[in-house]
Structure 1
């Protein structure tokens, strides 16, 4: 099942807790809606109600995307509500409701029923468990009666209909343990150690949602039932419906489906324990050789009593939020200076479990430089506490906040139903008023005048006054002196005087004139796709598509040059430095930090990437800022900054990259990719020593000509008027020097000598944690225009994935999330069909055997019409959804539509092609490619794992 990032626990602030010694209790259930006692206007389109049995519901009509509905069931309990012998059962129960219920007693019935209606397990049906909530999610492809009947029946069963049979619990134990092991990592283990160090008597430190293996393995059925009946009660659940619905009809459905749930009250008052206090300052060190990079943080934590949601409540934290945002900017700037020992830093405030308020400042030291970083952390915080902030700093952050809120208002009418459902869940769990973006803007505008440099300074001083501080270092190695050294370095730093922040003068954007506007060489309207294609007099190609399903939003991507096709031979990783140099080096006239100040409050930006056959220059903007966005992109092409700070920042990341490749699955995977690509240096495993030899000259030798005159094709999709955009394009992109008018094939550069199959391969990495991957792959011939084959191979992968789920997860309980997929590299004509699953080393051979057997059975016996339909219906669900996504039109259809015009035909015929796919076609492909003599049996595994208990 899906899980949030430890449900707001593992923020950098919560990881470095310092606690005041008081007993804390979970907040009691709230039967009323927050808006009933608030001066904040609730979103008028949302309908709130409650059944006589106490179950609450919210219905929010929303027409984007049309015909779609998102259902959510919120249970106000999680791992904090478990007893000692139930640790992990809140999450385990989330699995079990899918494994047999009142209306679906056959465990093999529910998922196939949903698949037949276009609802895929995982993509459209999922759940998550955290400390204080459990959430079930269904996203419906339509509002047909059959779809609504099934999904309302499913959600009702989740509330009180789970059978929790002893047999199914036994089978699922292995799946949950496999999930626990798949999530095991050094960072997770260190996080647990920090929590136990800082809050040894606080319940949350002993209640991570994934639970304990011993409990998962041995808990009796009765303990599952106890948790289920004690927490899934009508006064503790809220049902949410968001989408293209009629409120009255949905309300009647809710009454019909949920009114018969027996009224029960939950006992939700666990003792959260006690929190230490009065120690003033302490230092803690946590180490492991597999840590990717050092981290250093200073934090404190204090009890928090939730307040009623109100205008005053929301605005009271504005000054401290702005203060921390300024600190973030200062760390960002400082990290790039020559000689700086840090690669980044952050500061912030957070609330955890509605009972704790946490404040934290953290930095990431450069490899081996944590001692020098202590003074940076301490003095930058003290500089702000002593001297405060400048007006320019405050204005920059306020402009960014205001712009974000204004944009939310402009885009409100085309918010997606899934997005709104997530907002409602947050409001439910945090006891907040669910309001429209216009109300958020109004609230901010009331509070903004009080946010002055003086107010921000005072808020920061007040927050840190008399706090018990925790200084926490996480590093690769420590000795008996590390902790005392950390402590003394901090105390020594406190004796150093700090100067006020530097005053910075305002600058104007330097790139508004690129010369004489270019002429329009040709203009073509492609009516059936709603696309306008232009050719400018300097040979630049442009694709334009106006859409209305994401208001006030425009996406842009310029593809230019040849990407990895032109990468110098044996320069492995130069593509990483190229992207880092262009993105981190700013422009000739402005550094990145200067750009951020100059462009504060505007909706512009860019990022440059290296693809297999092109470089990409991407951005996002609004109609009002389209001209500025085009100017910015042209400046990135014509005057990249190539600043030393970009190279310094890149070099600081290399040790972390190296350590990750050495101690994680990504290292074994990198070796596998190098092997699969025939040892081609463009896809080789990175070598840190080689990366450190690269300079700006290496990047410029490769990129300068491609930036200046390489073939360029710009695509723009979104809420804009193409006719009004043409003059803007002519005076920006059209004013650039002439560029190549066509792309060369570079046929030699496209040749990759893939390894011969069949074969067995094992790739290893160095880790104590036994996390392996079992894989079987088959090579598939693919040509650049064979999209029809790709579509059919994707359907075949869905069928294989479902068989893997039934065999490995449902029947054997040996793995959590087995997968099958097809990857097609159209540039290098490489196709690979792969089955994979995370496992422990001793499971790999058995899982690989099952994978081969499942595929052999498909090759030998074929597939049924039913499993074909269950595979293709969820695909069709996604197809319809993609047509109302700018990302589909920009990335799949229009990107390179001039140089690869067949992509337009791919779009025209896509849905009809999927409708025409037959069982026989899928079987032919399986028999052609998924043969034993075309298979690579691959294992990724630690070379010497320890049996290391958590």
Structure 2
């Protein structure tokens, strides 16, 4: 439950029309009030480590954490944590901490060259998705999830960790091949954000060592370093007294401990050991300001960041302080959300919070994404709420709701403690090792929250503002489009805005809470008139008196989770192009207005003590809703379902605000190369249908509140067209009366509507489209093969296999052999309705000058599939990976809900899963070769490329 994350600078630019789903914040239920009778214990003593984990330290300083956990069954997660990162590089090594992470996958003592990845893929572990690693300023962490039902795989997994710890090969030939891969990863990160970050980061980091040690490193170093430089880094820093192995999963703890002691005890620390300096960012006391612009920046963003020393989280006193900060952030976030729900919102986006930064710092950060030409208005509105909290504090009702959130969140986590994924535990022990962040376990945390939370007072919360909102160590960063540079405010003007808000008269926040019931009309229960059972799938299929169908699947995958969906055919396909924008946005527009007696803000407050999330949708060919609940809050979920069918709301003020922000978000869209390319791709693949081309002011103007509301009501008027699905910890005696009351009573007319075929699909023929946009020397490539298809369970699995074997070859050739890309990808899409069609997409980024060569290589791999078929070893990898992922999927509520809805939508048998083994056995070299030749045609090939603008000049265009 303890969360501890660092960030450098994050601004989410949500510039599209908001599809707000009420209740998505998952605010939780109440726990009993416990009197704060504190025992005589030392609140400054370190909190104990979770007693479920076995920990130890070898004589060489190597640390281990081992815990048995059966979620998921027959799986284990291993992490090798190193307290080493880019901060430890010398000037000649900048980028080599991250490069070293790459080299750990390119040959070790027991797994030479690429054999490590090859072996793991054969064992059912996917490169990138499962096996992975990351390098930060202060740490490098390797992750490896494995099956445990075969002792040999687990044994080899520990050997891989041992090899990573100190026995990477660092072959000069492999180093030279990897240079291009790392440079391509660096290239992917280039753009407006990276260019601006380079300018403001030294200021934010107070010109500390962190400012000059970005993990991606320097290009000249990556291109030219000698093998000795990386070997020196590896020898100095990859050592047992800076390392820990974390093993959590379905394992025998004593056996794992014995294996770790046998395998890791002989790791050696260097004879002349370098001191592992703990670096930090100094607080200068200065206030700083910087304004940066970029031609590809699409919005004006202003952030105030007031830096502080980051508090530790080791003791009970620390834990209590973290609860105070969490409550503060939640209440502040709710206020900014409420501010944004106006007819004329003062900004596109705005918010503030206390959060971790870097190098021993945290900060109070307030960020605004301003409407074009309205920076002063937006920033003052942002700062006004900060000032309001500082001046008047929060209200007792706000604090009460925030406490309920914490208590019920903890209550829910406690109920799921035996179903908690191993990955969650690993992350806690990782932070415990790296940052000494307390990891006492959920039982202890629940005891702390229940005991400490009631004693946290309103004055204590309100005092946090004075502690964090200060006039020193304050950085102000202004980012904006280049074309607005001449009109941007300077430091004096921004400080003037701050001061004017600080001086203006203002009123305290009024927390308005509705006392009305959620629904205006309480329905009268109707009947379930027919029940069918499918014992093999564990399903009950209910036919209701109004014609609706309900599927119930009870599972024990979670102790207290119920997922649900409603599905009916129709969607926006039933409306003309003139109505499309209203239809496409209808669900979002209506949901943003609230439901029943509550507007969106009132609904948030009503749900603050409940664990319910729910939202309606209207898609191309269907409409419905989806959500989740606990058993305790299931009736509230049913009330919301009934409300979204029968008591939708339209809120003119919120609608105006959504439209205003959507238009403001489009102002500079054409300056973003990624957006321009994405819009082009969608337009080409959608054959330039008005329903597939990018957003525009004209399209936004077509959205009518009245028409959206009318369409929404039409789509949800007939319950007999709907099938409802409930999966999870269902109690029959509880859910059946709710179905009768809230679903069987829904209005219905018995009519069945079919979606229309609008004949929008990827066009046939050979098409080439090149977009010239942007200044960075980087290219983005999409290659699309498409056409008619024969939809079947067997063919779908074969297409999945084709995608996987192709992706393996693209990785081997484009990345490992040609060093031309960082992460090539392939994806398959198949549809049954409105027509049976498929599309195969290959995507990658690369240097512009390598585009034609790499495209030719990718197409060559397609042709090899058609001419010779895939390699048998790659088919074996697909089968191993698919079987392993399927074993885990089948034990999740998410899978079953998606499967059941999908089968109904495609009018396929629910028993199709029984055919898996037979279908998998039919995947062979010859069958995949035949499938590739049958569907992938050279004459249906679309080549889409994004190149920098100077490439257009070079091409003479």
Question: What TM-score results when the alignment is normalised by the length of structure 1?
Answer: 0.92
Tell me if structure 1 keeps the 8 A contact 2:514–2:598.
no
Deviation of 1:139 (Å):
0.9
Tell me if structure 2 keeps the 8 A contact 1:7–1:131.
no
In the alignment, which of 571, 580, 589 is matched to residue 588 of structure 2? 580
User: Who is 2:534 aligned against?
Assistant: 526
In the alignment, which of 794, 801, 805 is matched to residue 799 of structure 1? 805
Tell me if structure 2 keeps the 8 A contact 1:822–1:832.
yes
Deviation of 1:910 (Å):
2.8
CA offsets 1:148-177 (integer angstroms, 9 cap, x no match): 232222111101111111111111000000
Deviation of 1:606 (Å):
1.2
Q: 1:773 to 1:5 in 2, by over 3 A?
A: farther
- Please say if 1:370 is aligned against 2:369: no
User: Who is 1:212 aligned against?
Assistant: 218
- Please say if 1:472 is aligned against 2:472: no
User: Who is 2:27 aligned against?
Assistant: none
Tell me if structure 2 keeps the 8 A contact 1:769–1:946.
no
Q: 1:899 to 1:469 in 2, by over 3 A?
A: closer
- Please say if 1:178 is aligned against 2:184: yes
Deviation of 1:432 (Å):
2.1
Write out aligned runs for 1:356-367 (5 A). 356-367=361-372
Tell me if structure 2 keeps the 8 A contact 1:341–1:372.
yes
- Please say if 1:398 is aligned against 2:407: no
Tell me if structure 2 keeps the 8 A contact 1:554–1:620.
yes
User: Who is 2:68 aligned against?
Assistant: 61
Mapped partners of 2:655, 2:147: distance in 1: 46
Deviation of 1:573 (Å):
4.5
Tell me if structure 2 keeps the 8 A contact 1:242–1:417.
yes
Mapped partners of 1:122, 1:578: distance in 2: 38
User: Who is 2:740 aligned against?
Assistant: 730
Structure 1 residue matching 2:767: 3-state secondary structure: strand
Deviation of 1:365 (Å):
2.1
User: Who is 1:790 aligned against?
Assistant: 796
User: Who is 2:878 aligned against?
Assistant: 871
User: Who is 1:129 aligned against?
Assistant: 135
In the alignment, which of 678, 681, 697 is matched to residue 669 of structure 1? 678
Mapped partners of 1:11, 1:40: distance in 2: 31
Tell me if structure 2 keeps the 8 A contact 1:665–1:941.
no
User: Who is 1:329 aligned against?
Assistant: 334
CA offsets 1:513-564 (integer angstroms, 9 cap, x no match): 5422121121111111111111111111111111111221111111234223
Structure 1 residue matching 2:266: 3-state secondary structure: coil
Q: 1:723 to 1:185 in 2, by over 3 A?
A: farther
- Please say if 1:491 is aligned against 2:499: yes
Structure 2 residue matching 1:683: 3-state secondary structure: coil
Write out aligned runs for 1:627-666 (5 A). 627-644=635-652, 645-657=654-666, 659-660=668-669, 662-666=671-675
CA offsets 1:44-78 (integer angstroms, 9 cap, x no match): 22111122221111111011111111111011111
User: Who is 2:26 aligned against?
Assistant: none
CA offsets 1:831-861 (integer angstroms, 9 cap, x no match): 1112221123222111111011122222222
Mapped partners of 1:411, 1:647: distance in 2: 42
Write out aligned runs for 1:307-706 (5 A). 307=312, 309-353=314-358, 355-476=360-481, 477-479=484-486, 482-483=489-490, 484-511=492-519, 513-571=521-579, 573-574=581-582, 577-644=585-652, 645-657=654-666, 659-660=668-669, 662-706=671-715
For structure 1, which segment, 610-619 or 65-74, has the greater mean C-alpha deviation from structure 2 after superposition?
610-619
For structure 1, which segment, 861-870 or 799-808, has the greater mean C-alpha deviation from structure 2 after superposition?
861-870
Q: 1:313 to 1:271 in 2, by over 3 A?
A: closer
User: Who is 1:24 aligned against?
Assistant: none
CA offsets 1:457-507 (integer angstroms, 9 cap, x no match): 112212224533333322222227621432332233332112211242452
Structure 1 residue matching 2:717: 3-state secondary structure: helix
For structure 1, which segment, 938-947 or 143-152, has the greater mean C-alpha deviation from structure 2 after superposition?
938-947
Deviation of 1:6 (Å):
9.9
- Please say if 1:51 is aligned against 2:61: no
Tell me if structure 2 keeps the 8 A contact 1:560–1:614.
yes
Q: 1:455 to 1:6 in 2, by over 3 A?
A: closer
Tell me if structure 1 keeps the 8 A contact 2:569–2:754.
no
Mapped partners of 1:61, 1:583: distance in 2: 43
Deviation of 1:924 (Å):
0.5
CA offsets 1:749-781 (integer angstroms, 9 cap, x no match): 3x2354222x13124263223332223322242
CA offsets 1:405-445 (integer angstroms, 9 cap, x no match): 11110111101122322232222222123222121121122
Structure 2 residue matching 1:529: 3-state secondary structure: coil
Q: 1:860 to 1:899 in 2, by over 3 A?
A: closer
Deviation of 1:183 (Å):
1.7
Mapped partners of 1:182, 1:404: distance in 2: 38
Structure 2 residue matching 1:345: 3-state secondary structure: strand
Structure possessing the higher relative contact order (Cα contacts under 8 Å, 6 or more residues apart):
2
Mapped partners of 1:46, 1:5: distance in 2: 20
Deviation of 1:602 (Å):
0.4
Tell me if structure 1 keeps the 8 A contact 2:570–2:622.
yes
Mapped partners of 2:767, 2:513: distance in 1: 63
Tell me if structure 1 keeps the 8 A contact 2:408–2:609.
yes
- Please say if 1:905 is aligned against 2:887: no
Mapped partners of 1:544, 1:516: distance in 2: 22
For structure 1, which segment, 267-276 or 427-436, has the greater mean C-alpha deviation from structure 2 after superposition?
267-276
Tell me if structure 1 keeps the 8 A contact 2:520–2:597.
no
Mapped partners of 1:267, 1:401: distance in 2: 44
Mapped partners of 2:740, 2:474: distance in 1: 58
Paired positions, count: 915
In the alignment, which of 89, 95, 105 is matched to residue 88 of structure 1? 95
- Please say if 1:834 is aligned against 2:841: yes
Q: RMSD across aligned C-alpha pairs, in angstroms?
A: 2.6
CA offsets 1:17-40 (integer angstroms, 9 cap, x no match): xxxxxxxxxxxxxxxxxx999453
Structure 1 residue matching 2:445: 3-state secondary structure: helix
Tell me if structure 2 keeps the 8 A contact 1:671–1:763.
no
Mapped partners of 1:944, 1:409: distance in 2: 58
User: Who is 2:23 aligned against?
Assistant: none
User: Who is 2:935 aligned against?
Assistant: 929
Mapped partners of 2:526, 2:638: distance in 1: 14
User: Who is 1:10 aligned against?
Assistant: 9
Question: What TM-score results when the alignment is normalised by the length of structure 2?
Answer: 0.91
In the alignment, which of 131, 144, 164 is matched to residue 158 of structure 1? 164
Q: 1:592 to 1:561 in 2, by over 3 A?
A: farther
